[in-house]
Amino acid sequence: MPTLDVRKEKILYAIIQNYQESGEPVGSRTISKYLDVKLSPATIRNEMSDLEEMGYIVQPHTSAGRIPTDKGYRLYVDRMLSERALPAEQRTENQFLIKRVDRVEELLMQMARILAANTNYAAMITGPKYQKTKLKFIQLSPMGEGRILAVVVSEGNIVKNNILNIGEDISQESLLGLNILLNQNLAGLTMDEISLEIISKIKHEDDEHAEIINKVLDAVAESIRENDKMRIFTSGAPNIFKYPELTGGDKASELISTLEEKEPLGNIVSSVDGEDGRHDIQVYIGDEVPVDSMKDCSVVTATYELGEGVQGKIGIIGPKRMDYQKVVDTLKSTMSQLDVIFSDENDS
């Protein structure tokens, strides 16, 4: 079995780079234009034959040229991730592309649209997932007819509105007292930290409104539980049609269905949930992607964090010949922008 030396690596990278640009099998004469050393076509063909034997490239039956295999892409991506740092000028180039918005879900949908537009691939992003998230504050407001509005705000500025039927009207003064009492005792706590002792203390201080307190606490718990349900936002599905290798037969319709249904995308998120390292980039190529309709795709994912314990996943979905360097740099730049947005929010 041949060994992978520096010359073979250069030829493999030249094949990958040319195939990324053209989408066509690459021949020896084309490769010579991409190399920084002068090699004869015969030498290049011999090296290509070795690369094919080693499983890094393959020859489609309709062409004398070669295309990369999943193994070839994996080598290329692993080397790129270990060697490439995001240039400082690129980290700040698009600093203001993501507009400051108050609602997290609006920001995430906006981010998915920007990523799809900037990369020309499809983008997915999951809603934030709570991991021992702290309650920021509760705001109770009267609605009349025996109802109140309970606004529950958690760390990361996740807002949930709850209309509670309390059976009777309550005075502004009593409601103000409840707001102060609840926030004094609950703000800054996780659900695990809201103990029976704390609940008993709250009810003891305002036993007249114990039933209202129960309903508010139920609303707080439900608001937190809702964030355990995975929400996935997608954008850029039509970009799939730009890549012929993803449109043959039923491939395009299956991919579009997956992006629209969203549920299968949860397998991608589940496969990286155990990864350590904030902002770590993970790349899944071909058969590594845990979604049947995406075996001809690559998926690049990263983790975003909105505050302590509030995290989600963001991913770019494209052909295996995607421009990995551009995608990785775009994700890193996006993560940096989110850091600025939410660090400013947490400081305010």
May I ask the CATH architecture of the domain 6-68? Orthogonal Bundle (1.10)
Every domain of the chain with CATH number 3.30.390.60 lies at 135-226
User: Tens digit of pLDDT for each residue in 189-200?
Assistant: 887 788 888 999
CATH 1.10.10.10 occupies which residues in the chain? 6-68
> In the predicted model, what is the mean pLDDT of residues 22-50?
87
* Residue 232 and residue 110 in contact, taking contact as beta carbons nearer than 8 Å: no
Number of Cβ within 10 Å of residue 109's Cβ equals 16
pLDDT of 234 strictly over 50: yes
User: SS3 of 172, please?
Assistant: helix
> Quick one: pLDDT band at residue 170, thresholds 50, 70, 90?
confident
pLDDT, residue 276, reads: 47
Judged against a pLDDT cut of 70, whether residue 103 lies above it is answered with no
Per-residue confidence band for 91, with pLDDT thresholds at 50, 70 and 90: very low
| pLDDT the model gives residue 235 | 94
Is the domain defined by 135-226 classed in CATH 3.30.390.60? yes
State mean pLDDT over 206-230. Answer: 81
The answer to whether the CB of 119 falls within 8 A of the CB of 132 is no
Average pLDDT over residues 168-182: 90
pLDDT at 194: 86
229 band by pLDDT with thresholds 50, 70 and 90: low
User: Residue 320 above 70 pLDDT?
Assistant: yes
Burial 187-212 (b: 16+ CB within 10 A, else e): eeebbeebeeeebeebbeeeeebeeb
Give residue 92's pLDDT.
40
pLDDT at 96 over 50: no
- Give the list of residues 6+ apart from residue 110 with CB closer than 8 angstroms, or none: 98, 99, 101
**Sequence ranges of the chain with CATH classification 3.30.450.40:** 87-129+231-347
Average pLDDT, stretch 248-265? 87
Whole-Å CA distances, 120 to 75, 80, 259, 287: 24, 21, 15, 22
275 touches 265 (CB < 8 A): no
- Half-sphere exposure (Cβ direction) of 202: Cα atoms closer than 13 Å: 25
One-letter amino acid of 38:
K
Task: Give the number of other CB atoms < 10 A from CB of residue 84.
Answer: 13
Average pLDDT over residues 216-221: 88
Instruction: Give residue 159's pLDDT band: very low, low, confident or very high (50, 70, 90).
Output: confident
SS3 187: coil
Domain 87-129+231-347: give its CATH superfamily. GAF domain (3.30.450.40)
User: What's the pTM?
Assistant: 0.73
**267-316 residue pLDDT tens:** 887 655 544 444 578 999 999 999 999 999 999 999 887 665 567 889 99
Determine which of 6-10, 121-125, 248-252, 342-346 has the lowest per-residue pLDDT on average. 342-346
**% of the chain at pLDDT higher than 90:** 42
Residue 310 is predicted with a pLDDT of 65
